[in-house]
Amino acid sequence: MANAYVIGHITIKDPDKWSQYRDRVPATLQPWRGELVFRGKLVAVLGGEFAHNDTVVIRFPDMDAVKGWFDSAAYQSLIPLRLAAADVDLLAYDG
């Protein structure tokens, strides 16, 4: 069974607001069987250019779950906080 992944590349603008957002996201993942795979800070760019300093990877069972999570009222209600807290590029991958 192929999984789907959401990868977020992040530049934090307001650490307090980011902490609030980050603490609320896991509850939005549960109904969609989303699972945090990795969260980390950039140590080095080994090739090319990269603008962000944090990354998160979330695994879902499939793209329908990704879309369901992203479009859910629970997650959509967090987007204003995310926008105030950080510059985030969210990408979805079928894997």
Write down the pTM of the prediction: 0.93
DSSP letter for each residue of 50-88 = ---SEEEEEEESSHHHHHHHHHSHHHHTTHHHHHHHEEE
- Can you tell me the distance from the alpha carbon of 95 to that of 37, in angstroms, rounded to the nearest whole number? 14
Report the DSSP pairing between strands 86-94 and 35-41. unpaired
- Can you tell me the distance from the alpha carbon of 94 to that of 67, in angstroms, rounded to the nearest whole number? 12
Q: What is the pLDDT of residues 13-71, one digit of tens each?
A: 999 999 999 999 999 999 999 999 999 999 999 999 999 999 999 999 999 999 999 99
User: In the chain, what are the domains?
Assistant: 4-94 (3.30.70.100)
Report the pLDDT value the prediction gives residue 57, as an integer from 0 to 100. 98
Q: Which residues contact 57 (CB under 8 A, 6 or more apart)?
A: 5, 6, 7, 8, 36, 37, 38, 39
